[in-house]
Chain A
Amino acid sequence: MTALGKLFRTTAFKLAAGLLAVFVVAAVLGLGYVVWQSGRVIQAQIASTVDAETSNLITRYDSSGFLGLLRDIEARARQPGSFLYLVTAPNGEPLIGNIGSLPPGIIDKTGSRETEYGPLNDQRSNASAHVKVSVLPNGFRLLVGRDLAERRRFAEVLAGQILGGLALVTLVGLAGGLVVARRVLVRLDEMTETSRTIMAGNLSRRLPMAGTGDEFDRLATATNQMLDRIGGLMVELRQVTDNVAHDLKTPLTRLRNRAEEALRTAKTEEEFRATLDQVIDESDDLIRTFNTMLLIARTESDTAVDIMAPVDAAELIESVAELYEPLAEDAEVELKVSAVAGARVRGNRELLGQALANLVDNALKYSTGDDGKGGPVEVAVEGERNVVRFIVADRGPGIPAEDRERALERFVRLESSRSRPGSGLGLSLANAVAIQHGGKLVLSDNRPGLRVTMELPRLTDNGAA
């Protein structure tokens, strides 16, 4: 593609050329109308001067008689730029005049018309004139006319000037179009070039800005923001991948070591069996971790919205608490439940239940001290006009304020939690579920311990969330 070809192909140039074409057509139509109208005016003017001259001559006939008229005509015909005159006998025989020749029959019909004629002492063959034929009272015929060359010349000059003007306009328009197109092309080429570099892997590049705030700058700004977001996601993804790899690698290594050790040291079938049981347990843990990760990813991509239904908050939290109550009792942790009745949210009972179960599970685990006893775990539902709060609070070690935000990021596990049992993805999952349900998860200090609040939009009685 040549540079010029590229220029002609630009939208800006096509636009300019199109507008120019429309303009030229409009100008031709408009000016054509003007030319046509002027022609008509000139024609009317010629006709009226011919009429005036004819009646002038007839008046002269009335006052000075036929001979006086003839003398007058002779005198007038000699003046430069004079009218055309011809007087014929009733039989058509020319008497006097300044016309060389006439097509036959013109003189026989009275009235005004245009006709060709042969001028006197002139080789022009195609001269034309507007003539008026009248019959004099003595039966002779009088023809008065005006040459139309002037009119034609006028039209020719006008047309020439108009065409010249149009040609100029077209040239300037095309040149302007090219200039504009080139300017646009330069900016676009810059953008395209930068985009290619970015695609080639240099994700830190950004589209250039002219600083004029025009539409290109707006496009560049939006694109740059998009690139920032993509960059952010890439970093996040790398982090997630690292975390996932870590979370899966550790148990896999453990699994492998266990199998290896059994091969090396186990002697009896009993021992092999015991190891295999352990291996299966470890695999189940892995699968569980993996499932939770998938669930978080799925929840974040928002695919379960279609199976949302009204859920009774108190019923939900009570059923979760009931599920964990024996566990708490075994751990000698008191599980306090308080829920206001009647608060409902719109959601997926399954996901909400799982999120809350994870929170309660965590709370119970962290509440249990090394001595096997721990402070109470509080589980509550609070309802306000527009929000429903699910609260799970424990008396465990809590999460330092500076780590709280990070703790909610997906797949992020704080170092201190890695040593604990379970997949440790409970907070990430609860956060993802809360966001999916149009709410949020807030971590705060329970003085001491961790207080997790899942705040969801309350479902009012008329069904609006």
Chain B
Amino acid sequence: MRILLVEDDKDAAAYLVRALREAGHVADHAADGELGQVMAGDGNYDVLVVDRMLPKLDGLSMIGRLRKNGLQTPALILSALGQVDDRVVGLRAGGDDYLPKPYAFTELLARIEALGRRPATAATETVYRVGDLELDRLAHSVKRGGKDIVLQAREFRLLEYLMRHAGQVVTRTMLLENVWDYHFDPQTNVIDVHVSRLRSKIDKGFDRPLLHTVRGAGYMIRDGAR
């Protein structure tokens, strides 16, 4: 994935570029908003990671200009301002995701990958499949190896989100945001409990677990054999 990082803090930028390259991505860096706009303008990148406060042209204005020019590259906004209204402002300005500082790199990486691989088809696909697990979005049914699995509504949405991002790391906050529509930190490991419940329903009694815990990051659903 080609990633453009627009960030004025040199140390943070160097660290992120290194870490993103280690994770197998191509990462470039722009130190201010104007340069960022120029570099992103050609549409050469899959994801933009934009700090909110930048010299010359602030992050939100930069994204606003790019959107006005018709650029659709997904943008993730990084900000030291992490409150509810800041997020709303950021997303209204054309950002696709919002991550308050300080953040864990795993969280950032997971979100970048979720943004960059956001497949246009997935939203319209009615049946998601991972290994022998099958989720029918219209019929609201889940089967594994042909056997019906009964899930509660929330569990269904949780699995649906995980399967839409099959093969990608999904963090706890991403789950809370997308499955429960909350953007706060629930203090306790509530998400873990929900996931372990779901896991007991879809993996228990099968040889090959599909729902994996990614240490220090979150969860991933994938067919282990692949």
Contacts and interface: CB of A to CB of B under 8 A. Distances in A.
Contact of A326 (B82, B88, B100, B193): B193
B182 A350 contact: yes
Contacts of B187: 288, 357-358, 361, 422-423, 426
A225 B14 CA distance: 53
A289 to B, nearest CB: 10
A398 B84 CA distance: 31
B84 A351 contact: yes
A271 B195 CA distance: 28
Interface string A262-281: 00000000000000010010
Interface residues of A, number: 34
Interface string B174-200: 000000101111111110011001000
Contacts of A350: 84, 182-184
B84 A327 contact: no
A31 interface: no
Interface footprint category on B:
20 to 34
A201 B186 CA distance: 43
B85 A288 contact: no
B117 interface: no
B205 interface: no
B104 interface: yes
B44 interface: no
Given A288-B185, A422-B187, A326 B194 contact: yes
Contacts of B83: 294-295, 298, 303-304
Contacts of A319: 180
B102 to A, nearest CB: 6
A323 B180 contact: yes
A353 interface: yes
Residue among B83, B102, B197, B216 with max Cβ neighbours from chain A (10 Å): B83
Interface in A304-326: 304, 306-307, 319, 322-324, 326
A45 interface: no
B202 to A, nearest CB: 15
A166 B83 CA distance: 72
A139 B65 CA distance: 112
A284 B190 contact: no
A304 B85 contact: yes
Contact of B104 (A280, A294, A354, A365): A280
Interface string A78-100: 00000000000000000000000
Contact of A357 (B88, B184, B197, B216): B184
Given A350-B182, A354-B184, A294 B85 contact: no
B169 to A, nearest CB: 16
A68 B83 CA distance: 122
B154 interface: yes
A394 to B, nearest CB: 15
Contacts of A307: 84-85, 88
Contact of B84 (A348, A422, A423): A348
A361 B190 CA distance: 9
Nearest to B153: A322
A287 interface: yes
Nearest to B87: A350
B184 A294 contact: no
Contacts of B180: 319, 323
Interface string A347-363: 01011011001100100
A239 to B, nearest CB: 24
Contact of A322 (B154, B184, B189, B216): B154
Nearest to B179: A323
A426 B186 CA distance: 11
Residue among B104, B185, B194 with max Cβ neighbours from chain A (10 Å): B185
Contacts of A322: 154
A326 B216 CA distance: 22
A327 B184 contact: no
B49 to A, nearest CB: 19
A236 interface: no
Contacts of B88: 307
B185 A291 contact: yes
B190 A306 contact: no
A280 B216 contact: yes
A287 B103 CA distance: 9
A330 interface: yes
A294 B82 contact: yes
A13 B193 CA distance: 78
Given A357-B182, A422-B187, 15 more contacts: A291-B82, A291-B100, A304-B83, A322-B154, A324-B190, A326-B194, A326-B197, A327-B188, A330-B193, A350-B183, A353-B182, A353-B184, A354-B182, A357-B184, A357-B187
8 shortest interchain CB distances as A-B pairs: A354-B184, A326-B193, A350-B84, A304-B85, A327-B193, A361-B187, A422-B187, A298-B83
Interface of A: 277, 280, 284, 287-288, 291-292, 294-295, 298, 303-304, 306-307, 319, 322-324, 326-327, 330, 348, 350-351, 353-354, 357-358, 361, 364-365, 422-423, 426
18 contacts: A280-B216, A292-B185, A303-B85, A304-B84, A306-B85, A307-B84, A307-B85, A319-B180, A323-B190, A324-B190, A326-B193, A327-B189, A351-B84, A354-B182, A357-B184, A358-B187, A365-B188, A423-B187
